[in-house]
Amino acid sequence: MMNIRTFSRWFLAAGMVWSLMVSLAAMAGVSVESARIWPAPDHTRLVLDMGGKIDHKVFALSGPSRLVIDLKNASLKADFEKLDLSGSPVRRIRSAPRNGNDLRVVLDLESDIKPRSFQLEPNQQYGHRLVVDLIDEGGLKARKPSEPTVSQNTNGKRDIIVVVDAGHGGEDPGAIGPRGTREKDVVLKMAKTLADLIEAKPGYTARLTRNGDYYIDLRSRTLLARKHNADLFVSVHADAFRTPQPRGASVFALSQRGATSETARWLAKSENRSDLIGGAGGVSLDGRDEMLAGVLLDLSMTASINSSLGVGSSILGRLGSVAKLHKKGVEQAAFAVLKSPDIPSILVEAGFISNPKEEQNLSSSWYRERISRAVFEGIEDYFQKTPPPGTLLAWQKQNSRGDGSVSQYRIRRGDTLSGLARENQISVSELMQYNGLNDDRVMVGQTIRIPSS
């Protein structure tokens, strides 16, 4: 048996060995394991895979244009020569030791940029990462809002503009399925398919927030929708859960709680006052007093949410015929991409990528085509009933029948009388009276008459 004196000597020796190991580890520092680069239209993202957290400093230099990344107590294992720099403003990446144990990485650039850096914790796919964004401020300032696309050279016949947003992208893979399917890849393919379907329909124009594998921050996605003067913003995602059982497609609109916080944010920022309310054109907050601006913004946000719920219900009705629904009604949440106060915005969860069967479905082009077509048909159904003023569809509807005319509608799964009333801009009581209904219950397959609003 070890006596106390022997144990003390052993413990002291073990402590010395441990201290030596810690000192050696500190001397070794954190290594740069590998690197990736993601070019996007208005910025380029450089990602350094690190062996752990790192103390760093980033600054830009001019004449010639360079970006310097100083890494404290770091070593280099990555081979920057293997990076494909095409499509980015980076001409060359070089590195050298600095101050003994530190590392300096220098990016030779084509022009001056604004740098931004932050660190990311490990996720399912990557370990510790240092992210450096190279922001092209000149390109951002040069951008101008897009003019509405006109289907004919006649006023009042413009296209309905739908902005389709593929969630995640670049360094953000989104959810990852049991077989390794990445959400960012699935939703980009679906977004492109949906955009193609929309673009092929006369009276519609589609725009993508991203058409490649790069990341756009959430606020910028809604800003892109405004720059395109969108009538509708559709963000495509694939859901995930900690267990494999949940499945089914969902549609989300902005919650009232999210709307309240967003209204406050808009009123608090003076630069928002000159933004137009109403998507493709409407009321400006510029020059309005605080109370009037708040009222206008509340009215716009309420109308936007109501329209979002209407188009969401229409999409759910179509989705229910091609896929299992996770919830029968449109859900509401405070998602950042839905917080545009002047553009109806919905988020479509195409299914649970964490469910093995749905992961398999979402990996197949035929299933993605079915989901995308159902979403498109839901959008088309909604705008056929309530086309935005000044569009080709509104002109066609106005000239196809006179005031006081009636359309017939067959009830589909997920439809409610209140939802139909909202979509057609009439009250529930008027719709009940017009169809001789005693209550607001309707049945699938039932045909109701809808007067023109």
pLDDT tens across 166-191, in order? 999 998 999 999 999 999 999 999 99
Contact assessment for residue 157 and residue 335, using Cβ atoms and an 8 Å cutoff: no
Q: What is the share, in percent, of the chain residues with pLDDT greater than 70? A: 79
What is the residue-averaged pLDDT of the chain? 83
What are the tokens at 395? Answer: 């002109």
Largest CA distance in the chain: 104
Q: How far is CA 404 from CA 289, 396, 398, in A?
A: 40, 16, 11
Q: Is the pLDDT of residue 283 over 80?
A: no
Q: Is the pLDDT of residue 33 over 60?
A: yes
The candidate with the shortest Cα–Cα distance to 248, out of 319, 326, 177, 175, is 326
The residues facing 448 across adjacent strands are 409
**Strand intervals (E) in 152-258:** 160-166, 204-208, 232-239, 250-254
- pLDDT score of 145: 43
Q: Given phi > 0 = left and psi -120 to 50 = alpha, else beta, which region is 373?
A: alpha
The candidate with the shortest Cα–Cα distance to 48, out of 35, 58, 57, 31, is 35
- pLDDT score of 433: 73
Q: Is the pLDDT of residue 281 over 50?
A: no
- pLDDT score of 436: 72
Residue 315: count other Cβ atoms within 10 Å of its Cβ: 25
**Strand intervals (E) in 26-157:** 30-39, 43-50, 56-61, 66-71, 74-76, 90-98, 102-109, 114-120, 129-135
Burial 83-109, CB ≥16 within 10 A → b, else e: bebeebbbeebebeeeeeebbbbbbeb
Q: Given phi > 0 = left and psi -120 to 50 = alpha, else beta, which region is 56?
A: beta
Lowest mean pLDDT among 23-27, 164-168, 240-244, 363-367: 23-27
Burial 187-208, CB ≥16 within 10 A → b, else e: bbbbbbbbbebbeebebbbbbb
Distance (Å, rounded) from C-alpha 200 to C-alpha 304? 26
Distance (Å, rounded) from C-alpha 186 to C-alpha 280? 30
CA dihedral 389, 393, 397, 398 (to 10 degrees): 40
Please give the helix or strand (H or E) that residue 418 lies within, else none.
Answer: helix 417-423
Give the SS3 label for residue 434. helix
Contact assessment for residue 156 and residue 129, using Cβ atoms and an 8 Å cutoff: no
- pLDDT score of 44: 93
pLDDT band at 279 (very low <50, low <70, confident <90, very high): very low
Does residue 123 or residue 149 have the better pLDDT?
123
Query: Which residues, 6 or more positions from 299, have their beta carbon under 8 angstroms from its beta carbon?
Result: none
46-98 confidence digits (pLDDT tens): 999 999 999 999 999 999 999 999 999 999 999 999 999 999 999 999 999 98
Residue 114: count other Cβ atoms within 10 Å of its Cβ: 14
- pLDDT score of 45: 94
- pLDDT score of 157: 83
Distance (Å, rounded) from C-alpha 167 to C-alpha 280? 23
Cα angle for residues 90, 146, 267 (degrees, 5° grid):
95
Does residue 142 or residue 345 have the better pLDDT?
345
